A and B are shown apart, each in its own frame.
Chain A
Amino acid sequence: MTVVRPRELGQRLLHSSLAEALAFPHGVDRYVELVRPLLVKREVRAEVTAVRHQTPKSVTLTLRPNDNWHGLRAGQSLGLAVDIDGVRHTRSYSPAGSQRAAGELELTVSTHPEGRVSRHLRDHARPGMVVGLTDATGDFVLPEPRPERVLLISGGSGITPVMAMLRTLCDEGSARDIGFLNYARSAAFALYGRELDELAARHAGLRVARGFTRGAGAPLAGRFCRDHLRAVADDHGSAATFVCGPPALIDAVRAVWAADGLPEPAVETFTPPALAFDTDAAEGVVSFTASGRETPNTGLPLLEQAEDAGLSPEFGCRMGICNTCSCRKTSGAVRNVLTGEVSTADDDVVRICVSVPVGDVALAL
């Protein structure tokens, strides 16, 4: 005989079709969430269980996601939603914890002067706070099976996805040699110093080196260069390499790899690339079919054109990563400004934050 625990029984009842019929038309979640916000059946939410400040310009949150969380692979990013002044804001963050740490996520959020969400989290996040999550996405992940040699290079807030990879590899004991090269502006801005020292002490194959681009006290001086690689890898060409950081760091690493005739390393950046839009040559009309609105094409990304037309499409990263804004294009052609790829097929789903119309376009918005 199976024993049904009271908690399970309660959940089964709440998720039953009888409960839905009784809660018609609002749905059970709209009642349950007023008492237990994490117990909702459909949405992914998480409770903040711990808050710490590694540096004055960052906050590190430990989150406990609810049962609707599907998990993630180290290196992927997720969307985090918070309400600020009554308005829901969603931003993409790459968790820094090991993917083996079940039922727990760790986010380190670096603040920017203009960053509304990051500053809000730094100043107001407290244990008990409930945030919304979206499923993890992204292909900046460790391959399966794990490579024998891994090289992780990061700068600034870009440390988070490679920290997740490092912690995962250490938990698994899977890679033989791991090099971890990290750049911070100065000691005051360096994230995960203590954790890295502890990991290096415990794992014989792990070599960690840090550089401060604007301060003294680090073993490595200045910005990334070929010489720095020697501190963490004997033969960087044989290691599976992952780079996350500002575009300048990525370009510098790519240049070394290209000079050595090596294949491109896997890269990710959190800084939106400076995109040039040809607004003068723009032609055609953008129609939003669900709302019945139309606007002459300005040549800007469709998300901005939709907002200028008074619509409020959902969005997250606004740089083509998180997929929150993706939307069905019912007709017309759009160009992805990141890849240059042109989508001409009707009913293609496009990321409107990085798609500009090529002539007339109709979107299901």
Chain B
Amino acid sequence: MSTSAPTLTPDQIEAFGDELDAIRARVVADLGARDAEYITGVIRAQRGLEVAGRGLLMLGILPPAWLAGTTALALSKILDNMEIGHNVMHGQYDWMKDARLNGKTFEWDTACPGDQWRHSHNYMHHTHTNIVGKDRDIGYGVLRMSEDQRWNPYYLGNPLYAALLATFFQYGVALHDLEAERLVTGETSLADKRELLGEIWRKVRGQTLKDYALFPLLSGPSLPFALAGNATANLARNLWSFTIIFCGHFPDGTHEFTEEEAADETRGQWYYRQLLGSANLTGGKLFHIMSGNLSHQIEHHLFPDLPAHRYAEIATEVREICERYGIPYNAGPLHRQFGSVVRKIAKLALPPLPRLGGSRRNSETASHQLAAAA
């Protein structure tokens, strides 16, 4: 199912990079009131949904209020984490010089402390995208998501671990920077992670107190319903964000790379790796907003610090450039992309079948091309 990548000459790779740089420069020069109004509008909507959701859950003893309240709270958390938190923390709105929207200090409504996210996501994942052994988003240290990860019997549980990760995704993300798999192997010890654990504890405590103690207690006779509403809203956000995020880099046709291949990359080669390692989701405007525009994962990985609502506008151009260079542009509807992710999770639970000579691993095709272009 692998889409093979073309062989580009070093000159072509750099020309390709220059074209992408030009898009970026054009958008940066155009940033202004429209972008500021967009993000403040989304924040206003999120805060409105949150207040409405929490208010309705106080009357959660009434089924319609519970349903509406839970839905509003789930939507609020999704907007807060994806279109606001994730994007603001990338520094997409730093140019506004508004301390409330500063990427280095923003906090979000989820268990993971913003500072740890900035490290594990903005730095580790976005710099080392799809480099096996460096990008810890490949399987989150728990799953086998690439054939380049050596199989062992632990991975028989791959589908089960994936289901658990999806259900408790906010905690999975919160523990991401702990590098649990390195604790297990003894490469690091809990003592090294004391500070990190302290931050996680404080953030989880704040989130738990609000969602599972204070708001339910303020709901009087609706207490159990408010509790259930908060749990359901958190679960809905977990499942949704897991789905969108796993569709970003694991659908069929995305490539992984080795550390050697990505060493000493030029800017053009970096763009090329980002493009081959990412996949888009097609859908309507509301779908894109609710996915934090991570449905435009390709554009996001090329330009992680451009305001995400701009991705849809530049996607046509990025796609056209890719077509001209013969670079595959991986895009498909949610059911198809997620379907292929689920198949991959199941397939990689099992050891690789012994193959006859001549067959290649998925990722090798692209990897070799990238090496050839280097």
Could you tell me which A residues sit within 8 Å of B by CB distance? 18, 21-22, 24-26, 30-31, 34, 83, 85-89, 290, 312, 314
Q: A24-B210, A31-B47 are in contact. Are A88 and B98 (CB under 8 A)?
A: yes
Q: List 21 A-B contacts (CB under 8 A).
A: A18-B214, A21-B209, A24-B207, A24-B209, A25-B108, A25-B203, A25-B207, A26-B109, A34-B44, A83-B36, A85-B32, A86-B31, A86-B33, A86-B36, A86-B37, A87-B96, A88-B96, A88-B97, A89-B97, A290-B104, A312-B94
Residues B186-220 near A (CB distance < 8 A) = 203, 206-207, 209-210, 214-215
Tell me if B33 and A85 are in contact (CB < 8 A).
yes
Look across to chain B and name the residue whose beta carbon is closest to the beta carbon of A33: B100
Q: In the complex, which of the residues A22, A30, A89 contacts B100, with contact meaning CB atoms closer than 8 Å?
A: A30
Residues from chain B with Cβ under 8 Å of A24 in the complex: 206-207, 209-210
Q: In the complex, which of the residues B33, B47, B209 contacts A30, with contact meaning CB atoms closer than 8 Å?
A: B47
Residues from chain A with Cβ under 8 Å of B51 in the complex: 31
Q: In the complex, which of the residues B44, B98, B206, B207 contacts A83, with contact meaning CB atoms closer than 8 Å?
A: B98
Tell me if B47 and A312 are in contact (CB < 8 A).
no
Tell me if A314 and B47 are in contact (CB < 8 A).
no
Residues from chain B with Cβ under 8 Å of A86 in the complex: 31-37, 95-96
Nearest 6 CB-CB pairs, A to B? A86-B36, A25-B107, A85-B32, A88-B97, A24-B206, A86-B33
Residues from chain A with Cβ under 8 Å of B206 in the complex: 21, 24-25
For the complex, give the distance between the alpha carbons of A31 and B51 in Å. Answer: 9
Could you tell me which B residues sit within 8 Å of A by CB distance? 31-37, 44, 47, 51, 94-98, 100, 104, 107-109, 203, 206-207, 209-210, 214-215
Residues from chain B with Cβ under 8 Å of A85 in the complex: 32-33, 36
Minimum CB–CB distance from B308 to chain A (whole Å) comes to 15
Residues from chain A with Cβ under 8 Å of B37 in the complex: 86
Minimum CB–CB distance from B347 to chain A (whole Å) comes to 39
Beyond A86-B33, A87-B97, A312-B95, 9 extra complex contacts between A and B, CB < 8 Å = A21-B210, A22-B215, A24-B210, A83-B96, A83-B98, A85-B36, A86-B95, A87-B32, A314-B97
Minimum CB–CB distance from B44 to chain A (whole Å) comes to 6
Residues from chain A with Cβ under 8 Å of B109 in the complex: 25-26
Minimum CB–CB distance from B106 to chain A (whole Å) comes to 9
Tell me if A22 and B210 are in contact (CB < 8 A).
yes
Minimum CB–CB distance from B115 to chain A (whole Å) comes to 12
Tell me if A26 and B96 are in contact (CB < 8 A).
no
| A-B interface pairs (CB < 8 A), number | 55
For the complex, give the distance between the alpha carbons of A314 and B97 in Å. Answer: 8
Residues from chain A with Cβ under 8 Å of B32 in the complex: 85-87
Residues from chain A with Cβ under 8 Å of B31 in the complex: 86
Residues from chain B with Cβ under 8 Å of A87 in the complex: 32, 36, 95-97
Residues from chain A with Cβ under 8 Å of B33 in the complex: 85-86
Minimum CB–CB distance from B135 to chain A (whole Å) comes to 20
Minimum CB–CB distance from B120 to chain A (whole Å) comes to 16
For the complex, give the distance between the alpha carbons of A85 and B36 in Å. Answer: 8
For the complex, give the distance between the alpha carbons of A141 and B210 in Å. Answer: 48
For the complex, give the distance between the alpha carbons of A34 and B34 in Å. Answer: 19
Minimum CB–CB distance from A258 to chain B (whole Å) comes to 43
Residues from chain B with Cβ under 8 Å of A89 in the complex: 97
For the complex, give the distance between the alpha carbons of A312 and B47 in Å. Answer: 28
For the complex, give the distance between the alpha carbons of A88 and B95 in Å. Answer: 9
Minimum CB–CB distance from B372 to chain A (whole Å) comes to 33
Look across to chain A and name the residue whose beta carbon is closest to the beta carbon of B213: A21
For the complex, give the distance between the alpha carbons of A25 and B203 in Å. Answer: 8
Q: In the complex, which of the residues B47, B203, B207 contacts A34, with contact meaning CB atoms closer than 8 Å?
A: B47
Which residue among A21, A22, A25 has the maximum number of chain B CB atoms within 10 Å of its CB? A25
Which residue among A30, A85, A86, A87 has the maximum number of chain B CB atoms within 10 Å of its CB? A86
Residues from chain A with Cβ under 8 Å of B209 in the complex: 21, 24
Residues from chain A with Cβ under 8 Å of B98 in the complex: 83, 88
Residues from chain A with Cβ under 8 Å of B94 in the complex: 312
For the complex, give the distance between the alpha carbons of A283 and B95 in Å. Answer: 30
Residues from chain B with Cβ under 8 Å of A25 in the complex: 107-109, 203, 206-207
For the complex, give the distance between the alpha carbons of A86 and B40 in Å. Answer: 10
Look across to chain A and name the residue whose beta carbon is closest to the beta carbon of B46: A26
For the complex, give the distance between the alpha carbons of A25 and B51 in Å. Answer: 14
Look across to chain A and name the residue whose beta carbon is closest to the beta carbon of B210: A24
Look across to chain B and name the residue whose beta carbon is closest to the beta carbon of A86: B36
For the complex, give the distance between the alpha carbons of A191 and B339 in Å. Answer: 72
For the complex, give the distance between the alpha carbons of A26 and B81 in Å. Answer: 12
Minimum CB–CB distance from B48 to chain A (whole Å) comes to 8
For the complex, give the distance between the alpha carbons of A30 and B40 in Å. Answer: 11
Residues from chain B with Cβ under 8 Å of A30 in the complex: 47, 100
For the complex, give the distance between the alpha carbons of A89 and B32 in Å. Answer: 13
Which residue among A18, A24, A30, A31 has the maximum number of chain B CB atoms within 10 Å of its CB? A24
For the complex, give the distance between the alpha carbons of A89 and B215 in Å. Answer: 38
Look across to chain A and name the residue whose beta carbon is closest to the beta carbon of B34: A86
Tell me if A312 and B207 are in contact (CB < 8 A).
no
Minimum CB–CB distance from A128 to chain B (whole Å) comes to 17
For the complex, give the distance between the alpha carbons of A89 and B97 in Å. Answer: 8
Tell me if A22 and B214 are in contact (CB < 8 A).
yes
Residues from chain B with Cβ under 8 Å of A34 in the complex: 44, 47
Tell me if A26 and B35 are in contact (CB < 8 A).
no
Tell me if A26 and B97 are in contact (CB < 8 A).
no
Tell me if A26 and B95 are in contact (CB < 8 A).
no
Minimum CB–CB distance from A316 to chain B (whole Å) comes to 11
For the complex, give the distance between the alpha carbons of A30 and B101 in Å. Answer: 11
Residues from chain B with Cβ under 8 Å of A31 in the complex: 47, 51
Minimum CB–CB distance from B314 to chain A (whole Å) comes to 18
Residues from chain B with Cβ under 8 Å of A18 in the complex: 214
For the complex, give the distance between the alpha carbons of A214 and B319 in Å. Answer: 62
For the complex, give the distance between the alpha carbons of A24 and B95 in Å. Answer: 26
Minimum CB–CB distance from B207 to chain A (whole Å) comes to 7
For the complex, give the distance between the alpha carbons of A26 and B209 in Å. Answer: 14
Minimum CB–CB distance from A163 to chain B (whole Å) comes to 31
For the complex, give the distance between the alpha carbons of A85 and B37 in Å. Answer: 10
Look across to chain B and name the residue whose beta carbon is closest to the beta carbon of A90: B97
Residues from chain A with Cβ under 8 Å of B203 in the complex: 25
Look across to chain B and name the residue whose beta carbon is closest to the beta carbon of A31: B47
For the complex, give the distance between the alpha carbons of A193 and B98 in Å. Answer: 38
Look across to chain B and name the residue whose beta carbon is closest to the beta carbon of A290: B104
Residues from chain A with Cβ under 8 Å of B108 in the complex: 25
For the complex, give the distance between the alpha carbons of A107 and B283 in Å. Answer: 51
For the complex, give the distance between the alpha carbons of A312 and B31 in Å. Answer: 15
Look across to chain A and name the residue whose beta carbon is closest to the beta carbon of B31: A86
Minimum CB–CB distance from B116 to chain A (whole Å) comes to 13
Q: A21-B209, A86-B37 are in contact. Are A312 and B100 (CB under 8 A)?
A: no
